[in-house]
């Protein structure tokens, strides 16, 4: 299978690899996918006020899954939560030129962003 | 292609040995006769060449010349064997013409032919291999029925290299009077083959897996005890004892014969070479990486095959990381189907390990430095991807992945 240059670039130089303290109130963590499906993405965001100031990811999956999550971390940084929620998998497909068989990777990345934001909001809104 | 990757995919195909190619070359130009032309020297010359090749192939199998039918490869030979047996021996005009016993770990050529036969009413039992990819004769015995026409169990599995106990299964089939077909595509040139000792009635092989040309193979059809008859699956001039019509591909057949002769002559040398390379490779891998599993039977495994699962790393991303190596993965993502290897799944290795598997093959032209480079690239890629892997991180934190609730998609 031939990969687009952008997929190869993200695969060879993944952005924002790493982990944040998932117990921190400022951090939202989204883990989506399943090992038996061949891809698991963990995407974390650090939020100040309403703005995502940092993002990290780790992904078990094919090159397109790694590239999709790497791109997602780049895109969410600096956005407000509402802006980040508007990132759609089709944007990721277009940016990375993903073939049809890899569209599920972009869906997973979108789900990971949403799950991380949900986790952050849940923690923020919960009373201590 | 500049900077070609190191070729370690010898189970997929092999280069034609230059010694084989040299023998084939004149048959494209100077010796071009039709082996079926009986009226002139061109035909006789071609026929002599085919006869010699037939003897070479027969010798590699412990068979006689009249038992060798040339085909375009293993897929055709498999189709001819399975469909030919059903058409010849199946009950005519019955809802179920008969029963076949085969394995879930067979090549698609066998599985899809069986599926086709099922549409004609044939009932097929697909046996699940054990965790190492093998079947016992006892397991086959349990599946036999009064109307079983054929047992089809491969000699060596193409993905994991496991060697089935063919002699035991052959003995069982003899006792029960059931025909026995074995796909030996991955066995010829890897281990000694003797159709008499093994009690095999039908067997196929392929030229390009044994350092011969592509587009040629053979079907062995037993002539004595019992004499196996097949209904041809292609109509035409009645070549190959009426079992396979079509003008013989003389250069390819000459190549197949030469390749089989070399495979016999160099069997011990090839095996020792493959074994040394594989041992070297696996030693380096296991010394440098944890959580690596051998797929297949470490004891009953052909020497050239090393199918490894690198836990917590997905196979396709690993293939991307070892772009200097030509290997294949059992991961879903290398196929269009998004299903991981049906062989690994049938063995029950689990989805995670199936997604994390890579098959290496160390054949005749691989070298020590190839192995060292392959091990180096693999180790670096696995380490890099594990740094990226949330699963590896969880395991390092002491989380049991089987207790995690995943959001399947």
A61/B314 touch (CB, cutoff 8 Å), yes or no: yes
A12-21, A113-122, B280-289, B397-406: which range is least confident on average?
B397-406
Structure confidence by residue, pLDDT tens digits, B45-99 = 999 999 999 999 999 999 999 999 999 999 999 999 999 999 999 999 899 999 9
Residue pair B358/B307 in contact by the 8 Å Cβ criterion: yes
**B405 band by pLDDT with thresholds 50, 70 and 90:** confident
User: pLDDT value at position A114?
Assistant: 97
Catalytic residues of B: 333
User: pLDDT value at position B352?
Assistant: 84
A1/B334 touch (CB, cutoff 8 Å), yes or no: yes
Domains of chain B: 7-12+267-388 (3.90.1150.10), 18-265 (3.40.640.10)
The per-residue pLDDT of chain B, averaged, comes to 95
Most confident of A114-128, B287-301, B331-345: B287-301
Q: Give the mean pLDDT of A55-78.
A: 96
Q: Is B350 exposed, middle or buried, given 0-12, 13-18 or 19+ CB atoms closer than 10 A? A: middle
User: pLDDT value at position B407?
Assistant: 78
Of A56, A50, A51, which is closest to residue A20 (Cα–Cα)?
Answer: A56
pLDDT above 60: residue A128: no
User: pLDDT value at position B406?
Assistant: 86
Residue pair B363/B284 in contact by the 8 Å Cβ criterion: no
Mutate to test the interface with B, among A62, A89, A113 (most CBs of B within 10 A): A62
User: pLDDT value at position B339?
Assistant: 73
- CA gap B190, B23 in Å, rounded: 22
Q: Is the dihedral of CA B263, B51, B214, B24 positive or negative?
A: positive
A35/B352 touch (CB, cutoff 8 Å), yes or no: yes
User: pLDDT value at position B1?
Assistant: 55
pLDDT above 80: residue B142: yes
Q: Give the mean pLDDT of B100-125.
A: 97
Query: How distant is the Cα of B263 from the closest Cα of chain A, in angstroms?
Result: 33
Comparison of pLDDT for B265 and B3, the residue scoring more: B265
pLDDT above 90: residue A82: yes
Comparison of pLDDT for B401 and B229, the residue scoring more: B229
B408/A37 touch (CB, cutoff 8 Å), yes or no: yes
pLDDT above 90: residue A107: yes
Of B126, B116, B173, which is closest to residue B150 (Cα–Cα)?
Answer: B173
Q: Which residues of B touch chain A, with CB atoms under 8 Å apart?
A: 312-314, 316-317, 320-321, 331-334, 336, 338, 340, 350-352, 355, 387-393, 401, 406-409
At residue A117, φ and ψ (nearest 5 deg) are -65, -45
User: pLDDT value at position B61?
Assistant: 98
User: pLDDT value at position B161?
Assistant: 97
Instruction: Quote the percentage of chain B above a pLDDT of 90.
Output: 91
């Amino acid at each position: 299978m031939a990969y687009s240059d952008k997929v190869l670039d993200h695969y060879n130089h993944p952005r924002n690899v790493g982990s944040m303290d998932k117990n921190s109130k400022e951090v939202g963590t989204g883990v989506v996918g399943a090992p038996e499906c061949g891809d698991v993405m963990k995407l974390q965001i650090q939020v100040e006020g309403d703005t995502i100031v940092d993002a990290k990811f780790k992904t078990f999956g094919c090159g397109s899954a790694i590239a999709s999550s790497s791109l997602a971390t780049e895109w969410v940084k600096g956005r407000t939560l509402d802006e980040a929620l508007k990132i759609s998998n089709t944007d990721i497909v277009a940016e990375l030129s993903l073939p049809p068989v890899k569209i599920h990777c972009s869906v997973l990345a979108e789900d990971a962003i949403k799950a991380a934001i949900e986790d952050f909001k849940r923690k923020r809104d919960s009373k201590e | 292609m500049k900077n070609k990757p190191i070729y370690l995919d010898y189970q997929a195909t092999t280069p034609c040995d230059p010694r084989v190619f040299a023998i084939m070359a004149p048959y494209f130009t100077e010796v071009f006769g039709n082996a079926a032309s009986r009226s002139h020297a061109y035909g006789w010359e071609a026929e002599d060449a085919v006869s010699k090749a037939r003897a070479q192939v027969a010798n590699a199998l412990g068979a006689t010349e009249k038992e060798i039918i040339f085909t375009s490869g293993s897929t055709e030979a498999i189709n001819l064997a399975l469909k030919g047996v059903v058409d010849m021996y199946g009950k005519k005009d019955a809802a179920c013409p008969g029963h076949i016993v085969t394995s879930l770990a067979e090549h698609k050529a066998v599985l899809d032919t069986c599926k086709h036969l099922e549409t004609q009413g044939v009932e097929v039992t697909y046996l699940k291999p054990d965790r190492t990819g093998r079947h016992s004769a006892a397991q086959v015995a349990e599946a036999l029925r009064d109307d079983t026409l054929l047992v089809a169990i491969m000699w060596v599995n193409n993905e994991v290299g496991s060697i089935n106990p063919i002699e035991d299964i052959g003995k069982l089939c003899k006792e029960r009077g059931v025909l026995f077909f074995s796909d030996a595509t991955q066995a010829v040139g890897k281990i000694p083959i003797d159709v008499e000792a093994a009690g095999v009635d039908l067997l196929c092989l392929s030229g390009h897996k044994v350092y011969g040309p592509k587009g040629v193979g053979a079907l062995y059809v037993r002539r004595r005890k019992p004499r196996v008859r097949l209904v041809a699956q292609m109509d035409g001039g009645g070549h190959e004892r009426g079992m396979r019509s079509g003008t013989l591909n003389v250069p390819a057949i000459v190549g197949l014969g030469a390749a089989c002769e070399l495979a016999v002559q160099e069997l011990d040398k090839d095996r020792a070479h493959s074994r040394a390379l594989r041992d070297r490779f696996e030693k380096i891998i296991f010394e440098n990486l944890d959580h690596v599993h051998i797929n297949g039977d470490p004891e009953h495994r052909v020497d050239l095959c090393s199918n490894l699962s690198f836990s917590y790393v997905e196979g396709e991303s690993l293939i991307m990381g070892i772009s200097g190596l030509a290997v294949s993965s059992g991961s879903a993502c290398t196929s269009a189907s998004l299903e991981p290897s049906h062989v690994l799944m049938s063995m029950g290795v689990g989805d995670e390990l199936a997604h994390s598997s890579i098959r290496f093959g160390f054949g005749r032209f691989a070298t020590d430095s190839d192995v060292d480079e392959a091990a180096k690239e693999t180790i670096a890629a696995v380490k890099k991807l594990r740094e990226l892997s949330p699963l590896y991180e969880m395991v390092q934190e002491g989380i049991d992945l089987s207790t995690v609730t995943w959001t399947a998609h």
